[in-house]
Amino acid sequence: MTRRDLTILVIDENAIRASIIEEGLRDAGHNRVSIVHDVHGVGRVIERLQPDVIVIDLENPNRDLLESMFQLSRSVKRPIAMFVDRSDSSMIEAAIDAGVSAYVVDGLRQERVKSILDMAIGRFNAFSRMERELAEARSELADRKVIDRAKGILMKSRGISEEEAYKLLRTTAMNQNRKIAEIAQSLVLAAGLLEDP
């Protein structure tokens, strides 16, 4: 999918401001643009449209509306560009925490919409990549810990070296067409069951 094939949802209670965003998106070649003027029930609209990107414009939002939009941002897992006319440092911080990809204060202009949309998509992709890498690193660390525990159990029960214990785990994993961490986890669980209560 190219960026021009994106389905974009614009959430804006103000029809004039929504038209500025829509024109900016259409100038950039985006034709699959839907606009919602009522923020209530927007979750159902998102579920139905499955947009690739969401653009939210809140002219003068109160804290409740901002918080509601931040909750939406946390749940949808999509690039979100948000325009507001006024903000403060705590709201900017809350926007970042909520995963808003681009939070633009007093910057709604038709000619800027494309670059801000591109930035939101780029930041979202970069953040998603970092989240995946972090999850993988955590998983590898957890695997390493359970393998170390399994090696310790084998070393103690069989009187073998650490290298031999690892080799035994690896050979068993290969023979069973499973991952070493899976074999190690099974061994740790079994050893736990055999321990005295």
Residues 132-188 pLDDT 10s? 999 999 999 999 999 999 999 999 999 999 999 999 999 999 999 999 999 999 999
pLDDT band at 59 (very low <50, low <70, confident <90, very high): confident
Amino acid in the structure at residue 5: D
Q: Name the token pair of 59.
A: 């002219």
CA distance 61 to 17: 14
Residues 39-47: what's their mean pLDDT? 87
Q: Is pLDDT above 60 for 2?
A: no
**Local confidence band at 92 (pLDDT 50, 70, 90 cut-offs):** confident
Reported as a pLDDT band with limits 50, 70 and 90, residue 56 is very high
Length of the chain: 197
> Cα separations (Å) of 33 from 70, 74, 107, 151?
22, 22, 20, 57
Q: In the structure encoding, which two tokens stand for residue 31, read together? A: 């034709």
Lowest mean pLDDT among 5-14, 82-91, 162-171: 82-91
Mean pLDDT, all residues of the chain: 90
Mode of pairing for the β-strands spanning 102-105 and 33-36 = unpaired
Of 26-35, 88-97, 158-167, the poorest mean pLDDT is in: 88-97
Cα 112 to the center of its chain, rounded Å:
25
Contact 156, 191 (CB under 8 A): no
Contacts with 144 (C-beta within 8 Å, 6 or more apart), sequence order: none
Average pLDDT over residues 38-66: 87
Pairwise CA distance, residues 174 & 162, whole Å:
18
Which stretches of 10-160 are DSSP H helices? Answer: 15-27, 42-49, 63-76, 89-97, 113-158
Lowest mean pLDDT among 22-26, 65-69, 136-140, 180-184: 65-69
Q: What is the pLDDT of residue 197?
A: 65
* Residue 34 near residue 51, CB atoms below 8 Å: yes
* Ramachandran class of 91: left when φ > 0, alpha when ψ lies in -120 to 50, beta otherwise: alpha
pLDDT above 80: residue 81: yes
Distance in angstroms (rounded) separating the CA atoms of residues 58 and 108: 10
pLDDT of residue 63: 78
> How many Å separate Cα 21 from the centre of its chain?
25
**Is this model's pTM higher than 0.75 or not?**
no
- Residue 108 contacts residue 87 (beta carbons within 8 Å): no
